[in-house]
Every structure is written in C-alpha cells, then in structure tokens.
Amino acid sequence: MIRHSLSGSTGWSRRDLLRLGGLTAFGVAAGPALAACAGEESGGGGKANLQFMYWGSSFEQKAIQKMLDEFNSRQKDASVKPLYTPQEYDTRLNTLVASKRVPDVAYLGAGTAYRLAEQGKLVNFYPYLKKHPELASRLPYTYYWYGKDKLLGTQTANEVILLWYNKKTFQEAGVDHPPAEASKAWSWDTLVETAERLTFDQDGRRPSESGFNTKQIRQFGLAANFNSYGWYPLVRSNGGDFVDETGTKFLLNSPEAVEVFQNLQDLMYEHRVSPTPAQTGNNAPTTTVQLQTKRIAMAIDGQWVLLDMAESNLDYGIGVLPSYQEPTTIGFAAATAAFTGDHDDKTVELYMFHNDPRYVDLYKSGLWMPLEKKYYEDQAAIDSWTKNAAHPPEFRTAVVDYTLNNSVPMFDQRLKNTDAIGEVLTPAIQQIQTGKHKAKEVLDALKPKIEPLLQGWYPSQEL
Amino acid sequence: MAAKKSRLSGQGRLESRWGIILAMPAILGFLIFTIGPMIASFFFSLTDWTIGGRPSFIGLDNYRTMVKDELFWKSLSVTAYYTVGAVPLGLIIGFALALLLNQRVRGLSLWRTIYYLPTLVPAVASAVLWIWIFNPDFGLLNSLLRQAGLPTSQWLYSEEAVVPSLIIMSTWGFGNAMVIFLAGLQGVPRHLYEAVSIDGGGAWQRFRHVTLPMMTPTIFYNLVTGVIGTFQVFNQAYVMTQGGPNNASLFYIYYLYRTAFTESAMGYASALAWVLFMVIMLVTFLLFQNARRWVYYEMAGAR
C-alpha cells in the first residue's frame, strides 16, 4: 500500500515515492508550497482549458509533458496544462478540492478516487464505453467500479511484481539464474538456498559458515519486500488472502498467510540473507542502485523498475516470483480519473489520450505496461511496446505471459475503507519486519483490529 | 494653557493614529492568519467535514471519538515523552554552552558563530544527516560505540530507541536557547559577583548564588517556549520515520497532518488541533503557576 509511480492508495511512505522519483534524499526538502496552487478557472464557452494533475519521477514528467503537447497540437478548441506534483500529492489535491479548483484529469490513489466518485465529483465513464471501445477491452482488474454501471476510470497503466537480479553476482557465486517462466518458478526453499549462496559478510563468509558476522554484511542475497505489493502475491500463491470474498472477514492469520510472513521474517533473522529494515535504512538507494552496487543480489520489486534498469549499465535479469502452490503475481496501479465540469466531452478525450500507447512513450521506455488485453495477446501489438532496447529477451515470458496468465488483482484496489485499514495494517507489518514478534502472534492480534474496519468490496462487473 | 494642551493632544492623536496604522500589518496578519483559522477550525471541529463532502453539524462527537481513539492517546503520549526528554536536555546543553561562551577567550565571536551554526541548517537537511548518523550498520554513532567496545543500538529502527534517538538529535538545535541564555548572562550585575568574591566564595558559589538565581527568568522563558515548540514536533516523524516503527514515533502533529491530508477528515483533524491547543494551554498555565516558587525577578512585580 505504498505509492510508487502508479500504485498506492495513500502514500504513507514518501520514501518509496522518492525512490521511484529518482530524487536525491535532499529532494525531501522541497515540498511544493501550497501557495503555488494557481488554479486556472476554465473559461466558459470557446476554448476549453484543461488541467492534468500527476505525480512521478522527472522522467515521467517529461514524458507526460510530451503527451500533453501532442494533445494540444491536435486540438483546436481545447488546451491542457500540466499540474505536476511529485510530492504531497494528496495534500495538494485535497486543497484544490476544498477550494473548488479541481484539475480535469488526475492520477488518484484508490481511497481518494472512490471517495471523490461517491461525492459525485468524478466523471462516470460507463456511458462512454460504447464510444471508446479501447476503454472496454482492458484487463478486467484494471477497472475501478464504484457501483452498478458506475465506472470512475481504470488504472493509469498496469504493473506487476517480479524478481530482479544482478547477473554478475550469480556468475561470481556460480549459481543458476532465477527462472523466467511461470511454469518453472522456484519453490520458496530454492529461493532461500540460492539467496544463501549469494550472501557474504565483510570477510567473504556465507551465513552457513562459522564466524559469519551478522552485523557487517557486504552483500545480501535478496531484498525482501514488506510493502503490501511485496507480500500479497506470495500469500495468494500459497492459497491465502487478505480478506474473504465478502470482504468482511480477515484471513491474514490463516496458516497459508502466516507461513508466508514467517518465511519473510526468517529471511532476515533466521537465514540472514536479507537486510533488516535497520540495515536497509530509511533513505536507502533505489533497487537498481542497490543491485548495481552489489548490496543485494536479488530484489522483489515492480515492473516499473525497468525504466531505471534500462537507463543504467547494470547487467540485470528478470525472473518470476517464487511459487508456493500456484505461480502468482499481482496486477495493479493507481487510477486516473476525470473531474466533472463544463466540458466533460473534452475531458474524456484527454482521458482517452493520456495513456494511449500510441502517444506516450512510457510503455516503450519500461515504466508502464498497457491496459488493453491485445497488448498481451496479439504478437504485433506485443512487439509494438516490447521490441526495443529497454526490454530484455526474457521480458516476453517473465512479464507479458506472466501478467496475462498469472496475475491477480491487488486487494486494496477494490476493498472499501482501504486508507483506514492501511493505517492499522502498516504498523503491524512493521512489527513482523523488525523481528520483535512471530508472524502468527502479530497477525492473530491484528484480526480484531482490522475486522471492524472491513466494509466489503466495491463491485466489479463484466463488460 | 488650554491651547497648548489641545495641541499636545492633537499630536498625541496623530501619534496614536500612526501607531495603529504601522502596527496594522501585524494585527491584520494575526487576525487573518491566526485568529480567523482558529475560529474556523473550531467550527469545523464540530462537524464531520471530509474534504469534497458537505459538512454536517455533529456537536462534540469528534471529541467523543477521540477518547476511544488509540492513535490519539498513542500520539499524545509519544509527544509528551519526547517533550519531557528533549526540553530539559536542550536547556542544560544550551545553558552550559552559554556559560562557556560567556568566558573571555580568544576568537570568542568565532566560537559563538560555530556553536550557533547547527541551528541554521535547514530542518530537513539535518534530519537527513542524522539518518546517516543513526544508521545501525555504518552510521557514526554505532561505529564509535563499537570501537569503544560499548553496546550498539538500532536507533531509529527499534520501537524503544526511536524517541530517545530523536531526543538526542533535538539537542543539536540548542542554538536559539543558547543565544537567549547568553543575553541573559550579560545582564547579570557584576557587583554581585564582586560581593561573592569579597565574601571568599569561589566559582561554584558565584554560579550557585548569583548566576543561577539571576538566570531563572531566562530559564523559565526558554522552558515555556521549548515546551510549546516540542509539543508541535513534526519534521522528524515526517522526514525520518513516517511515524514508525509500529507508531512509536507517531507525533501528535504528524498524526493530525495525516488525518487531515491523507484521510481528508478535516473535521476530526480540527478537533485534534483544538485538543492540542488546550493541552499546551494547560501545561503552560501549570508552568506559570509553578514558576512563582522558583523564578526570581530582581524588580518585584515584573513577572
């Protein structure tokens, strides 16, 4: 439940936002002043003045600017201006909403999106599905429904979770690469064994050797990911879930889920192959940099990392996640939605334009994956965004096929009251992460705290 | 006589008019940016306003919710813990350094500048710096402790150590208190020190019977402003810990900010703000009550 470029409902961890944003730690200092919210009133009649509000790295900023310029050059009676907000997105958006100066099209976290939709502030896209068939043929879990025939939009793009690694570390240790096909996915034990062979302390000793110094470790085998998008695919792979199908019963203390969390904790405190939160630090470098500097050999992280990887000179590889019972990853991302106003037709045009792979090069550069099914099924369509230098050969099986056949929806994208749930969930997961309590203990204690907050799922419907 | 009087009062009127006009920016600023929002937030605190929604009046429900809100109590106790640790430590260090910088040594103004410098470092920059100092594996603190053969700590990453770590870090900002102490020390009458010397008293007696009593108003001032300031601690949680681990550094203002801007619950956040205001008022009131016992004013009735 953390906002990176696309996902995330609440932005609890600004660190991850920064990480992806590729900003230096000092970027924290430059919170955008609220005073800078120069809202432009859209003039009635004549030309429609639109605003597009978004977050992301400076790279994403440029790509979006290019897309908006393209839109402007094609439109005679509408023009759009960017409202780039890399930090404190919710703060600024809330201020704009409160002062009735909302943008026209905006990235929104799930919780905010549903709230604004229920308050009647967002365009319902259901009536537009006929006019825009490409909006009707997207992957089913990418839609944000807030009632029967009520659609606030879809994800901005798609993302899945993968196993990234530095090929050089594998070569040095003489270990096989992680598999790039779902059918050959490692078991958890294989992952741990491999990670053990890739972990070294300052004197080159491995965790299984005597005299291993747990305090000063040069290279960790694997960076475990305790974000919800890090553990949820593993829980689903083991047949567990966060809540039941009614969305009112907490299931994270089931044996299947407990096993996953205990395994994750054991990576750090039992097998010593993963950095603890203290060893990672609160201002850790990006996954790409940590792999590049051989601080870690493997990392569980999102597809969006590819942008950084492709820009770096790191010899990286992509594998599928380890599998318990079924090879599983998750597909998810934050929503893009449109605010209602005087010129909804133009707003919808901009909406349809903003993430069209024909106009935005973020697909080719690796940050985003398309939403429409054909980009995962049709060879020519697949080639249109993956046949380039940024996408390595294993991308087809490890990402395209993996997404189409093995991705499940992320729970916090459809669950009601997800922001409040996250505020209880996050501290509890931190307790597992810091190794103070066993997973079962924490998750059992969590059940009575989460269940009063559960209000069921938002609907989903067939198209 | 009468003419002269009226001329004077005319001038008096002029002066007072100009006085008011010149003070207006400050008065207006206070009304518009402090009193106005305060009244507004009090009104909002009686509603269930969520940003984007329509506020409806719910009386004292927000305040009732707070009584049962675990995070409210958690954040209040975390903040109180921080205040109790950071304020006295800051006072002691600020006072001690002010005493040192009040000595006649070579390059005095240079030393004063150097000791004040940390205060000038932007809050966020110093937070980032301290994240590195606190790094358990490679940070400065643990490296020093390890070399000295002392036990190390997880600092920001353990529930027990996170607030003490932030307290240690807070002492870095002693500069402002130090400058005020320094000013206070300059005002201690010389003849009292001479009197102690004549009576055969040494450095300790001079400090104990002259410096300390004469400095109590300054100590009191720094205490009150320090308490008010630390109750509103925010940057450290915001930049360094995001309130973690397990809410162990969920400072009150950070919780309030999160409630207002990520949960968009403005009504509840306003109620939280008013409760903090009351708490600070109460604590300040108690400090003033208590001050009668130990603060010494040379001129009676100057308090």
Contacts of A214 in chain B (CB under 8 A): none
Q: Exposed/middle/buried for A126, CB within 10 Å: 0-12, 13-18, 19+?
A: middle
- Using only C-alpha atoms, chain A has a radius of gyration, in whole angstroms, of 22
Buried b (16+ CB within 10 A) or exposed e, B189-207: eeeebeebeeeebeeeebe
Cross-chain Cβ contact A278/B244 below 8 Å? no
Confidence (pLDDT) at B185: 93
**pLDDT at residue B190 above 60?**
yes
| Secondary structure of residue A279 in the 3-state scheme | helix
- For chain A, the residues whose C-beta falls within 8 A of a C-beta of chain B are 10-15, 25-26, 28-29, 88, 90-91, 94, 97-98, 112, 115-116, 119, 121, 215-217, 276-279, 281-283, 419-420, 423, 426-428, 430-431, 433-434, 436
Separation CA B211–CA B164 (nearest Å)? 30
CATH 2.40.110.10 fits A14-158+333-355, yes or no: no
Cross-chain Cβ contact A434/B246 below 8 Å? yes
- Using an 8 Å Cβ cutoff, are A416 and A118 in contact? no
Beta-strand ranges (E) seen in B102-167 are none
Contacts of A435 in chain B (CB under 8 A): none
Cross-chain Cβ contact B245/A10 below 8 Å? no
Q: What percent of chain B has pLDDT over 90?
A: 64
- Using an 8 Å Cβ cutoff, are A36 and A89 in contact? no
Separation CA B51–CA B133 (nearest Å)? 39
- Using only C-alpha atoms, chain B has a radius of gyration, in whole angstroms, of 25
CA triplet A321, A423, A13: central angle to 5 degrees?
Answer: 60
Q: Exposed/middle/buried for B229, CB within 10 Å: 0-12, 13-18, 19+?
A: middle
Q: What is the DSSP string of A401-456?
A: IHHHHHEEE-GGGTBTTHHHHHHHHHHHHHHHHTTSS-HHHHHHHHHHHHGGG---
Contacts of B50 in chain A (CB under 8 A): 115
Q: Give the CA distances from residue B121 to residues A412, B10, B87, in Å, rounded to whole numbers and listed in that order.
A: 40, 50, 20
By C-alpha distance, the chain B residue nearest A216 is: B137
CA triplet A305, A307, A310: central angle to 5 degrees?
Answer: 105
CATH 1.10.1200.10 fits B60-122+162-294, yes or no: no
Residue boundaries of the structural domains of chain A: 14-158+333-355, 160-331+414-453
Cross-chain Cβ contact B128/A25 below 8 Å? yes
Cross-chain Cβ contact A431/B50 below 8 Å? no
**pLDDT at residue B167 above 90?**
yes
Distance in Å from the first CA to the final CA of chain B: 40
Same fold, A14-158+333-355 and A160-331+414-453: yes
At the second CATH level, the architecture of A160-331+414-453 is: 3-Layer(aba) Sandwich (3.40)
Nearest CB partner across the interface for B53, out of A119, A215, A276: A119
Confidence (pLDDT) at A9: 36
Cross-chain Cβ contact A282/B154 below 8 Å? no
Contacts of B154 in chain A (CB under 8 A): 278
Cross-chain Cβ contact A216/B137 below 8 Å? yes
Contacts of B137 in chain A (CB under 8 A): 215-217, 278-279
Contacts of A98 in chain B (CB under 8 A): 51-52, 266
Separation CA A369–CA A372 (nearest Å)? 9
Give me the total of CB pairs closer than 8 Å, taking one residue from chain A and one from chain B: 92
- The residues in B 175-194 lying below 8 A from A, measured between CB atoms, are none
Q: What is the DSSP string of A91-118?
A: HHHHHHHHTT---SEEEE-HHHHHHHHH
Segments of chain A scoring below 50 in pLDDT: 1-44
Residue B291, both tokens: 């001050």
Distance in Å from the first CA to the final CA of chain A: 28
Residue B116 Cα to chain centre, angstroms: 17
Cross-chain Cβ contact A436/B244 below 8 Å? no
* B122 vs A: CB within 8 A: yes
Separation CA A240–CA B274 (nearest Å)? 44
By C-alpha distance, the chain B residue nearest A428 is: B246
Separation CA B192–CA B285 (nearest Å)? 32
Contacts of A110 in chain B (CB under 8 A): none
Residue A126, both tokens: 């259901």
Separation CA A397–CA A379 (nearest Å)? 13
Contacts of A431 in chain B (CB under 8 A): 245-246
Please name which of A155, A185, A175 lies closest in space to residue A401, comparing C-alpha atoms. A185
- Using an 8 Å Cβ cutoff, are A297 and A221 in contact? yes
Separation CA A369–CA A232 (nearest Å)? 20
Q: pLDDT tens digits, residue range B29-84?
A: 999 999 999 999 999 999 999 988 889 999 999 999 999 999 999 999 999 999 99
By C-alpha distance, the chain B residue nearest A10 is: B262
Contacts of A12 in chain B (CB under 8 A): 242, 262
Separation CA A218–CA A441 (nearest Å)? 32
Separation CA A455–CA A450 (nearest Å)? 10
Nearest-CA distance A369 → chain B (Å): 27
Cross-chain Cβ contact A215/B124 below 8 Å? no
Mutation target vs B (from A419, A430, A449, A450; most B CBs, 10 A cutoff): A430
Mutation target vs B (from A28, A96, A268, A282; most B CBs, 10 A cutoff): A282
Separation CA A386–CA A382 (nearest Å)? 6
Cross-chain Cβ contact B262/A10 below 8 Å? yes
By C-alpha distance, the chain A residue nearest B245 is: A430
Nearest-CA distance B122 → chain A (Å): 8
Confidence (pLDDT) at B301: 53
